[in-house]
């Protein structure tokens, strides 16, 4: 898996230990149902154009780790307003790409040291959850 910053074409590799935890929670159709005064059901619906959440969480306690040096880059990128990224899955069975931004409404990046103590070097690992919002289909 990798994340590419579109404006600079810089890429950060991400280990394969992340699970897209809300992949199947997305509802592509928005719908409202109301009753008219006479009891008639009024249904309005439309297809969502974009905005699907992509939450990458560690698949297990010993997965989804990122070195502090890489985490610092991701935090800097997330703070760059208006930046877009390409998130590319690189699994044998999944080569999808997504045009995304960091989802600040839902806490874009959560990280805690794997050892549970402050990092002593830039090579220390953090367990990380990343939240993105898909802008449109990158394919």
Specify the pTM.
0.86
> Which pLDDT score, from 0 to 100, does residue 137 have?
59
pLDDT in tens, the chain (139 residues): 999 999 999 999 998 889 999 999 999 999 999 999 999 999 999 999 899 999 999 999 999 999 999 999 999 999 999 999 999 999 888 899 999 999 999 999 999 999 988 888 999 999 999 999 999 854 4
- 60 close to 18: Cβ distance less than 8 angstroms: no
User: Exposure of 100 by Cβ count < 10 A (0-12 exposed, 13-18 middle, 19+ buried)?
Assistant: buried
């Amino acid at each position: 898996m990798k994340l590419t910053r579109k404006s600079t074409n810089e890429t950060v590799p991400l280990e394969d230990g992340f699970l897209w935890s809300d992949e199947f929670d997305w509802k592509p159709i928005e719908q409202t149902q109301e009753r008219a005064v006479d009891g008639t059901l009024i249904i309005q619906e439309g297809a969502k154009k974009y905005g699907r959440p992509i939450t990458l969480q560690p698949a297990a306690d010993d997965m989804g780790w990122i070195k502090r040096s890489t985490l610092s880059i991701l935090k800097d990128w997330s703070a760059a307003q208006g930046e877009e990224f390409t998130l590319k899955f690189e699994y044998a069975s999944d080569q999808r790409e997504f045009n995304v931004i960091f989802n600040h409404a839902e806490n874009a990046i959560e990280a805690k040291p794997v050892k549970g103590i402050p990092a002593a070097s830039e090579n220390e690992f953090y367990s990380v959850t990343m939240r993105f919002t898909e802008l449109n289909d990158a394919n």
